[in-house]
Amino acid sequence: MASGSSGNARKKQIDDTPGPWIDWPETDRADRAIRFMETYCRPPKGHGFGEPMKLTEDQKQWFRDILADDVTLAVKSCPRGEGKSTEFAALAIWATFDKSETGQPQVPIVATTVGQAVRSVYGVAIQMIRAEPELENRCTIYTALGSTKFEVAATGGSCFPIASDPDGLQGLDPSLAIVDEIGFQSIDTWNSLQLASGKRARSLVVGIGTPGFNKNNALWTLRTLIRENGCPDGFVYREIAAPEGCDHKDESVWYACSPALRAGYKNIKALRTAVSITPEASFRIFYLGQWVEGVDAWLGTEGRALWDIMESPYVLDPEQPLYAALDVGVKRDSTALVLLQRRIDTGKPHVKAKIWMPNKENAVDVTEIMQYIRILHRDYNLKAVAYDPRLFEVPSSMLRDERINMVEFPQSIERMTPAIGDLYTALMQTQLTHDHDDQFGQQVLNAIPRYNERGFMLSKEKSNGKIDACISLAMVWGLYTHPERLKSPLVCL
């Protein structure tokens, strides 16, 4: 009999013998997992509450796909309400309690925070264990802060919640790792788990979730790679979503993209209520499994279309006045210099961006930025370069000594709020043009507003990726539309 040794265990193991499943004749992992889940795992809420799970054929096929011998990575993207937490909690329990050919099972459940993991997949797993004596008696459940987990003596296995900090994930040795809400996790989190999982002859990393509010996440990155290059060997990807352009109020669309609805354990009445009170973009993301860009961004869900409308290539004229604005990144931020010149053909202002990206070892080299500005001054009619004096004071002084007009543009609430507001109006009215530049456009679209008593600024901390080029665009727009501010140094108004 197991003695148990931790003072924080709420329920200690009283039976250290292998469970009855150990003698099952099935040798295929998927067959064993399906039988285990339908025998010992009981949904703690919703459809089938308190009764052994009844997996749909769709769920069974998913498990057969991801538990195949050669599969090491798997991702499922689907709407909410498809039983993801219940499905993967049961998978985690099986993987911890059943025998493993690669040694003691280790099953981390990864979420943004430990609390989030406990509230979702891990918490459901614990409820399932407590509802089944064959499971509860054969494990020890630890509940203390910082050591939340359950252990199974017969297999030496452990399952635990863990936050999605890439540094903390690299020391794991998972037999199965579950990444919850992968649409809200970074690609660094996924990569760390992928590297950690290679320590065993056989391991599996599974990501589940709905699309995120933006494209700066692991789910979108993996989806894009697969669509561009195909699904690599050992990777299973499944996306359950309504077709683009569909009527989001069409109930036949709901059924088509919801196996749970077709199986009868998702409430159609709940969707009818949700579609009447939920913003369309949010309904499409959470209930139809679709990607909708710009839900919380400053240019809204039509931002991409708006930016694309303004695309019109143009070659800068060396003789015409040229304006520039620089936003210098801190630590791992990018640095962006945006140029603006009034077009000869249409009279509209045209903008281009030069963006420097740091690497893990080094920040952007400020001497490269200075040299680029010198070249612009030499080859073009460069009228002024706006910059934030906090981060470019010494280089700006050196460039000013070279007779380059460096104009202070403090990124204060008083200065940036009207600048952002003016740029917003210009974009909404399509008053400018730009070249095709994916990186520039994405930084403009990434920005999320931070409201204040004067209007709003753009928040680097809350934004969906880097926005330095967007900040530079606002600064150069302000420089261009207010020529009285061209004197150097500028007095902050």
**Can you list the domains of the chain with their CATH numbers?**
9-240 (3.40.50.300), 304-485 (3.30.420.240)
What pLDDT, in 10s, does the model give residues 231-258?
A: 999 999 999 999 999 999 999 999 999 9
What pLDDT, in 10s, does the model give residues 274-320?
A: 999 888 888 999 999 999 888 888 998 889 999 999 999 999 999 99
Start-to-end C-alpha separation, the chain: 77
Find the helix or strand (DSSP H, E) in which 267 lies.
none
pLDDT of residue 212: 84
pLDDT of residue 331: 66
Band of pLDDT at residue 5, cut at 50, 70 and 90: very low
pLDDT of residue 4: 43
pLDDT of residue 65: 97
Average pLDDT of 355-381? 90
Average pLDDT of 36-57? 88
Band of pLDDT at residue 489, cut at 50, 70 and 90: very low
Between 34-38, 209-213, 377-381, the lowest mean confidence (pLDDT) is in 209-213
Whole-number Å distance between alpha carbons of 211 and 241: 10
Nearest to 297 by CA among 465, 447, 452: 447
pLDDT of residue 493: 33
238 to 177, 227, 351: CA distances (angstroms): 17, 12, 40
pLDDT value at 194 more than 70: yes
Question: Please, what sign has the CA dihedral across residues 257, 259, 261, 266?
Answer: negative
b/e map 271-287, b = 16+ CB within 10 Å: beeebeebeebebbbbb
* CA trace torsion 435, 440, 445, 447 (10° rounding): -140
pLDDT value at 39 more than 70: yes
Q: In the block, which residue shows the tokens 């998978």?
A: 91
Nearest to 190 by CA among 219, 210, 214: 219
What pLDDT, in 10s, does the model give residues 135-192?
A: 999 999 998 877 899 999 999 999 999 999 988 898 899 999 999 999 989 999 999 9
Q: Could you give the 3-state DSSP secondary structure of residue 324?
A: strand
Q: Which residue has the higher pLDDT, 399 or 51?
A: 399
pLDDT of residue 246: 95
Whole-number Å distance between alpha carbons of 473 and 452: 20
Nearest to 472 by CA among 428, 412, 411: 411
Give the whole-number percent of the chain exceeding pLDDT 70. Answer: 95
Whole-number Å distance between alpha carbons of 78 and 58: 13
CA-based radius of gyration for the chain: 28
Mean pLDDT over all residues of the chain? Answer: 90
Task: Output DSSP code: residue 120.
Answer: I
Band of pLDDT at residue 102, cut at 50, 70 and 90: confident
Band of pLDDT at residue 427, cut at 50, 70 and 90: very high
Contacts of 366 (CB under 8 A, 6+ apart): 328, 392, 395
Whole-number Å distance between alpha carbons of 468 and 278: 32
Does the pTM of the predicted model rise above 0.85? no
C-alpha angle 179-183-188 in degrees, rounded to nearest 5: 65
Would you say 40 and 130 are in contact if contact means Cβ atoms under 8 Å apart?
Answer: no
135 to 30, 85, 147: CA distances (angstroms): 19, 19, 20
Q: Is 34 exposed, middle or buried (0-12, 13-18, 19+ CB in 10 A)?
A: buried
pLDDT of residue 395: 95
Average pLDDT of 405-420? 92
Band of pLDDT at residue 491, cut at 50, 70 and 90: very low
